[in-house]
Every structure is written in structure tokens, then in C-alpha cells.
Amino acid sequence: MSQHNAPLLYVRLLKESLGFALNALRNNKLRTLLSLLGVTIGIFSIIAVLAAVDSMDRKIKSDLSGLDKNTVYLMKFSFGPTDIPQWKIGQFPNVKYDEFLYLKRNMNNLENIAYMYFTKNENIKYEKETASGINVVPCTDESEQIEALKIADGRFFSEAESNAGAAVIVIGYDVAQTLFGSLNPIGKEVRLYGQRLQVIGVLEKQGETVFGSNDTRAYFPCNFVRRLYGDNTDFLTPVITLKPQKGVDMEEFKGELAQKIRSFRGMKISEPDNFFINVLSGFTDVVDNIVGQMNGIGWAISGFSLLVGGFGIANIMFVSVKERTNLIGIQKALGAKNRFILFQFLFEAIILSVIGGIVGMLLVWIIAMILTKALDFEFVLGFSNIMLGTSLAAFIGLISGIIPAIAASKLDPVEAIRSGM
């Protein structure tokens, strides 16, 4: 066989193998479908898990992109896992407004600093309308910069209003829609904590994010709440939020912050910290870790399905070799090389497996489309996942088909023709 004809030969080989594979699907529909089901389910489960985790990861990353990864949250609780027992954390003091003022004056490399409360959801009323379960955020005026809040109408409260604890409020898009409909909310008075507050701003519509949405939030001066309830209230957890300047060494910044707080609290060198310095980038590491674990679980579950799928393909191929023993004998008698017969069956196994894989990915795509429409959450079946699914299916076909293909290529032509008659 000349070198020149080699590519043509393999093209013919592929064409024939495709014909045999489609023939197997046509002539033994049930048997082939049942055998391919393993590959379909395997590819479906792995690609579904990877696509779901990818989509979730992408969503979290895009929701985090609006926030500075180096934003620091100083408080008595930790965002991530910690070795300190829960009862001990319960004894830590809350961060104080005085500490916020002290850090604001004394911290180096500080772009911005805010004081805010994490608190339970509340109802906000306007005349007969009630917006329930609203995420209320008592904070200082700097929160607008740190959280990069976008105002659609009106304005955020000023430093003077923040310091005075003025009865003013900035509401999210959904809150405005619920309470006011088509009315202009600016200047209207709403009721919260049994008090009247004047609406001075409405936030731009944000849509749902992993961290909740600004659309269902309301921001007002934290000194307004401090005036009402004082500093020691169970339902308010104070937090000092710090945004370091760009390019600052984060370890140095955290070290300075810890030292400043310790000296303000008059702590001895031997005493351990009674506060936590939480950095947002630490949260993204936790997310990456969870994503990695979920992918691992997906691979483990799908591995079993793919194993079953591989046996299914091997089964089809052994039957196929048996059914075509006579034909193999004739091909060999006419001069077909062992390699030709080997590749013929290998290609067939790969094509069958890829067909099973494509069906699996098609199912993922259909379900992703339905879920995206139903859940207002974008499920993405990325190109890399499609390529992975196809490669995986081809690999399963290759592994499953190798032994039957070798068996076929080793057949003795005379014996093969005789046994097939």
C-alpha cells in the first residue's frame, strides 16, 4: 500500500465503520439502545454536574466581581471554619462605634472604612402597603463607596446625616415597587421600627445574586438605630468594614489592624485575639474548595455509570465480531491487513460511544435551557464541557472496543469463513 493511498484508506475505513455502527443501531435497536444507555447516563451525569458547578461558580464570581476581594470585615464572628470553640466566640466583645472612629483616624493605607450592623429582616410600611422580609442595613455613609452602590433616583445619605442618625432611608428597587408602584418614592415617609423615615434614594435594579440582592435591601444611618436601641442589642451584630488602598500588602494591613484594635482594647501580649479579621478573598477560596469537592463527587458518581457504559459497548462489539466473522474472513482472504480490521472495529466502538455521549449532552442542554427559563439562573453548558464529554465518550469507546477489535483482527481467515457459513 503506497503512502499516498493511506489517508484515503482511513477515510474509507471511517465511512465503513460509521455504516456498521448505524447498522447496529438500525437492526438491533433495543439491544444497542440498552447498551448505549450506560454511556448516555454516564456522560449526562458528569456533564450535568460539571455544567451546574461551572454555572454556580461563574455566578458567584460575577457576584463577587462588584466587591473588592480585599475588603476586610472586622467583627466577633468568623466567616470560615475556626479552631476557636463556639462558647469562647460567644464571650468575645462586639466591635464598637468608638473603635470604628479610632481606626478611621489612625489606620494607614486605608481607602475607606464603614460601620454597619448585620441584623434580622424587617417589614417596611407605607400607608396600607407593606414590604416584608426586607434586609435592612444600618450603616455609616461610607458603605455607599465600599459596596459600590448605584443610585437610580435621589441620593445616598451624607456624612452629616450619618453622624446625626437622621431619619432617612435609601431603598432597593423591589422595595420601591412594592410600596409605591408607579408613585415617586422620593420624599415619602415610610415606617420602620415603629419610626418614620424619609425616603431619599432608590437603588438601581440589580437582580438576584448569591449574596442576596440590593433590590430587597434598605440602607439608613446606623446612629438612627443606636439612638433607638443603644449599643448592646441582641439582634444587631456590629461590623467594621475596611477597604485597603490598592496594592497594599494584605498581611501587613491585617497585622496593623489587629495591633491597633488590641491596643485600643488594652489587651496584654499574652491574651489571644478576641475578634476576627475576615477577608473576602478568603471566602472565594472557600467557594473554590467547595466547587472542587462537588466536581470530585460528580466524577465519582459518573465513573460508575461510565464503567457500566463501557461494558455495554464491549458487549455490542463482541456480538458484532461474532455476527461478522464470515465477513472478516472474506476481507482477510481478499488481503485486508490485521490493522485494517482492528481499526474498523475500534472506530465502530468509538462512533457508538460518541453517539451515546452526544445524546447525554443533548439531554443536559435541554434541561439547562428549561432550568434557565424556570429559575432565572443561567445554566451554562460551556464549550470545554462539550469537548470533555465528546472526548470522554470517545475514550470509553476506545477502551471498550480494544479487546473485541484485537480478537477480530487475530481471526484466521479460513476458520472465520468456515465458522460463518
DSSP 8-state secondary structure symbol assigned to residue 79: S
- Is 20:32 a contact under the CB 8 Å cutoff? no
Q: What percent of the chain has pLDDT over 70?
A: 94
d(Cα 372, Cα 356) in Å, to the nearest integer? 25
Mean pLDDT of the chain: 84
Q: Which residue has the cell 454556580?
A: 56
In this predicted model, which residue has the larger pLDDT, 108 or 234? 108
Least Cα distance to 163 among 203, 118, 114 occurs for: 114
- pTM comes to 0.62
pLDDT at 369 over 90: no
Instruction: Convert the pLDDT of each residue in 131-162 to its tens digit.
Output: 999 999 999 999 998 888 899 999 999 999 99
Of 8 and 171, the structure prediction assigns the larger pLDDT to: 171
> CB-based contacts of 371: which residues, under 8 Å, 6+ apart?
377, 379
Pick the most confident of 4-13, 91-100, 205-214.
91-100
Cell of 110: 486605608
Among 95-109, 289-303, 341-355, name the most confident range.
95-109
| String of DSSP letters for 183-218 | S--TT-EEEETTEEEEEEEEEPP----TT--GGGEE
Domain boundaries, the chain: 3-63+286-420, 93-274
At 394, list the grid cell: 470517545
Q: What is the pLDDT of residue 49?
A: 80
Q: What is the pLDDT of residues 236-284, one digit of tens each?
A: 899 999 999 888 888 999 999 999 999 999 999 999 999 998 887 666 6
Q: At what angle do helices 97-106 and 222-229 cross, to 10 degrees?
A: 140
More confident residue, 176 or 337: 176
More confident residue, 69 or 260: 260
| Angle at 401 (CA atoms; ends 400, 406), nearest 5 degrees | 125
The reported pLDDT for the residue numbered 68 is 62
Nearest to 286 by CA among 84, 39, 57, 113: 57
